[in-house]
Structure formats: C-alpha cells, structure tokens
C-alpha cells in the first residue's frame, strides 16, 4: 500500500491539507498528517484543527511513497525545523514524490532541492523559488521528475490528479 506524508503546522491552508488527504484516502492510499512534534494538534488559518498522526522526528523517507507540502503560512514554520528539511531532502534524494502547492515552495527552498528544477507556486514566493535556483513558470501544475508543484487551492483538482497518477505508476 502507498503511504503519503502530509506536512502540517499552524496556519496551514485548510483546502491544501484536507483536499489531498481525503482524495488520497478515497483512492485507497494511506495519508498521514505529519507535524513538527511541537504539539498534538495544529490549527488552519481559520482555526480548523488537524491532529498530528506522526511527528517528523519519527519518520523516514523509506516509510513513504510521497510527501505533500501544503501552503498557507505553515511552510514558513515548517522550514524552520531541520527535521522537516532533512525529510524533504531525503525524499528527493530517494526519488520519492514531492507534491508541493502554494507557499509550500518555501520548504523546497530551505531543503535545498530547487537548483535547476522547474516549478510553480504562489506568485508572492516566485522570487524565493528563483533565488533558490529554480525556473519558475505560471501554470496550474508543473511536473519535474519526482516534483509536482501547483500555485493555489484552485489548482487542487489537477494537483491531486497528477499526484495520484504518479503514485499509481511508482
């Protein structure tokens, strides 16, 4: 069975966590909410709770087929944790799927995996992605090898479609 880590922290974008979580489960793919270990539950920007099922301190790239990095302001907190950056870097090194949407690109930049990659993301972080070595394109989904990126919640249908398609191939 495929297993996907969905990174969470306070101020997450509610649709970018729950839409992929529920879509994956609908397709019989295990989705696990992975937090920083700071507390048992994190709140979305609107206050919607997400319970940490695993701490990033207790996960390994070998345990997952993919990781989803949602947006909101959570990525700015996530990327301050060495364990988060190391996990994402290990996922990339092992050619596991990394699906990132909106402000999630901040984690990719802090993990140091963007040099020479083609990505998209929320327009406000374009400079951050480019300065981390990526080529930025404004499209609803961009696939660069094991990396899937999208811009915002409106892109979730195609983002999840591509993620699930890639999971079924691997």
Number of independent structural domains in the chain: 1
DSSP the chain: --EEEEE--TTB-HHHHHHHHHHHHHTT-EEEEEE-SS-SEEEBTT--EEE-SEEGGG--GGG-SEEEE--BSHHHHHTT-HHHHHHHHHHHHTT-EEEEEGGGHHHHHHHT--TT-EE---GGGHHHHHHTTPEE--SSEEEETTEEEE-SGGGHHHHHHHHHHHHHH-
Name the catalytic one among 79, 81, 103, 117.
103
- Domain of 124: which CATH number? 3.40.50.880
pLDDT, one tens digit for every residue, the chain (170 residues): 799 999 999 999 999 999 999 999 999 999 999 999 999 999 999 999 999 999 999 999 999 999 999 999 999 999 999 999 999 999 999 999 999 999 999 999 999 999 999 999 999 999 999 999 999 999 999 999 999 999 999 999 999 999 999 999 86
Catalytic site includes residue 103: yes
Provide the residue range defining the domain that includes 149: 3-169
pTM of the model: 0.97
């Amino acid at each position: 069975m495929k297993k996907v880590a969905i990174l969470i922290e306070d101020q997450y974008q509610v649709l970018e966590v729950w839409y992929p979580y529920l879509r994956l489960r609908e397709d019989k793919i295990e989705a696990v909410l992975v937090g920083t270990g700071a507390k048992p539950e994190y709140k979305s920007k609107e206050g919607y709770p997400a319970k940490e099922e695993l701490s990033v301190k207790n996960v390994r790239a070998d345990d997952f087929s993919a990781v989803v990095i949602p947006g909101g302001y959570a990525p700015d907190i996530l990327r301050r944790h060495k364990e988060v950056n190391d996990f994402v870097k290990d996922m990339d090194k092992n050619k596991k799927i990394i699906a990132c949407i909106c402000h999630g690109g901040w984690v990719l930049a802090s993990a140091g995996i963007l040099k020479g990659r083609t990505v998209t993301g929320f327009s406000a972080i374009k400079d951050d992605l480019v300065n981390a070595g990526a080529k930025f394109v404004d499209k609803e989904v961009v696939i660069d090898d094991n990396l899937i990126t999208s811009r915002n919640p409106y892109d979730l249908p195609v983002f999840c479609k591509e993620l699930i398609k890639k999971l079924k191939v691997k």
